[in-house]
Amino acid sequence: MSKAVVAVVGSAMMDLTAYAQHLPEPGQTLVGDLFTTGFGGKGANQAVIAAHCGAEVHFVGKLGRDLFGDSIAQNFKNLGINSVHIERSDTATGVAHIWVDGDGENRIIIIPGANSEIESAKAVAAVSSINDLSVVVAQCEIKQEVTLAAFRAAKARGCTTILNPAPFETLGTELLELTDWLIPNETEFGQLHGELPSNDQVLKRFRPGKSSVVTLGSRGAVLIHADGSIFRVAAPVVSAVDTTGAGDAFVGTFAYGLASALTAQDSLNLGVHVASLSVTKKGAQSSYPTVEQIATLS
C-alpha cells in the first residue's frame, strides 16, 4: 500500500489545564486537583494522531519564538512530523486555558497568538509542493482566508479536503464548496444547520450532494454520504476522565483512513475507536493511543 500523505494546515497550542471536581461560578474561588502543561491545538492534535496511525504528516503553521514554540517544534520532530512549513514569529505561541470537571467535560479559551499570523501564500506554497499529498485537513483556529487558499490549492491538485469547523464560525460559501468532508460535533452541527442532528431526516438535509461526519461524543459518530445514505458507528463504553482532544483524535484518524484508501465507513469505525481510547486519559495529545495500540484496532 502506498504511503498515506496528509497535510494539516492549522493551529498548535500549549494547553494549560486545571482539573477540578466542580468548576467555579463567577466570583468564586475553588481548590482544584491537578494542573498540567501539554501539547494541544486542534491542528497539532489532528496531525499527531494521524502520525500515530502511520501517515506521513506535514504540519503547516506558525509558532512563537519562545519556550512553548521550541517545545512544540521539538515534539513534532520527535514524532517524525514534517516541520518544513512551520514558521516562527515574534508573536507568542498560541495557548489554550482549559478547565476539566469531574465528569471529564472541558471548557476552553484559546489565545491564538502566532496561529493568527499564518499567511495564505505560505499555506498555498506548502500544499502545492508536498509530494504525493492526498488529504488536506483544516480547522477554525486560524484565519478562514488561509484555509480557503489552502483548499483551493488542494483541490487544484486533486486532494481530498477535510474541514473540522471548530471552534464554530460562519463558513463562506466557496470554502464549503471546496470541502469534501465537513466534520462538526453535535453543537457545531446545530450552529451550522440551525437544528441539532436528532434524526436521519435532519442529517440528510445538512449538505445534500456533499459528504459529512457528525461526531456524537459517547454515542460515536454518523457518516452522511453525498447521496444522503447514513452510516452510524456506536462508541465502545469507556470510563471518560477527560474529553479534551477527542474530536481531534477522530478527525486525524479519519484523515489517515481516507489517505490510506480505507473506505469512509472503515475510517469512521477506526476514528471512533481511537477517539474513545483518548478520553480514558488526561490531556489532548498525551491521551492519544500509541502506534502499537492503534495497530490492534485496525
Counting residues that bind ligand RIB (by CB under 6 A) gives 15
Strand order from edge to edge, sheet including 94-100: 34-40, 13-19, 94-100, 106-111
Shortest approach of ligand RIB to residue 114 CB, angstroms?
A: 13
- The single-letter code of the amino acid at 99 is W
Q: How far apart are CA 115 and CA 143, in angstroms?
A: 8
Binding segment (CB under 6 A) for ligand RIB, from list 67-75, 155-163, 225-233, 240-248: 240-248
Which residue number, 39 or 130, has a Cβ lying nearer to ligand RIB?
39
- What separation, in Å, do the N-terminal and C-terminal C-alpha atoms of the chain show? 15
Q: How far apart are CA 228 and CA 66, in angstroms?
A: 48
Kindly identify the residues of this chain, within the stretch 108-127, that bind ligand RIB according to CB under 6 A: 108, 110
Angle formed by the axes of helices 42-53 and 67-78, nearest 10°: 20
Cell of 150: 489552502
Which residue number, 40 or 220, has a Cβ lying nearer to ligand RIB?
40
DSSP code for 112:
-
Nearest 5°: phi and psi at 16? -110, 105
Going along the chain, which residue ranges are E strands? 5-9, 13-19, 34-40, 56-64, 86-89, 94-100, 106-111, 135-138, 160-163, 181-182, 211-215, 221-224, 230-233
Q: Which of 184, 171, 181 is nearest to 247 (CA)?
A: 184
Q: Is 40 in the site for ligand RIB (CB under 6 A)?
A: yes
The answer to whether 248 is a known catalytic residue is yes
Kindly identify the residues of this chain, within the stretch 80-99, that bind ligand RIB according to CB under 6 A: 96
The 265-284 site mask, x for binding ligand RIB (CB under 6 A), equals -------------------x
Shortest approach of ligand RIB to residue 142 CB, angstroms?
A: 11
Which residue in the shown chain puts its C-beta closest to ligand RIB?
40
- Residue whose cell numbers read 475507536: 273
Shortest approach of ligand RIB to residue 281 CB, angstroms?
A: 13
Q: How far apart are CA 31 and CA 24, in angstroms?
A: 9
Nearest 5°: phi and psi at 161? -115, 140
Which residue number, 91 or 244, has a Cβ lying nearer to ligand RIB?
244
Q: Is 245 in the site for ligand RIB (CB under 6 A)?
A: yes
Shortest approach of ligand RIB to residue 248 CB, angstroms?
A: 5
Indicate which single residue of 8, 13, 135, 224 sits in contact with ligand RIB (rule: CB under 6 A): 13
Shortest approach of ligand RIB to residue 200 CB, angstroms?
A: 27
Which residue number, 56 or 248, has a Cβ lying nearer to ligand RIB?
248
Q: Which is the catalytic residue, given 15, 66, 242, 248? A: 248
Q: Is 61 in the site for ligand RIB (CB under 6 A)?
A: no
Alpha helices in 85-169 (DSSP H): 120-129, 144-156
Shortest approach of ligand RIB to residue 96 CB, angstroms?
A: 3
Q: How far apart are CA 280 and CA 213, in angstroms?
A: 23
The residues that touch ligand RIB, with contacts defined as CB under 6 A, are 13, 15, 40-42, 45, 96, 108, 110, 141, 244-245, 247-248, 284
Could you list the active site residues? Answer: 248
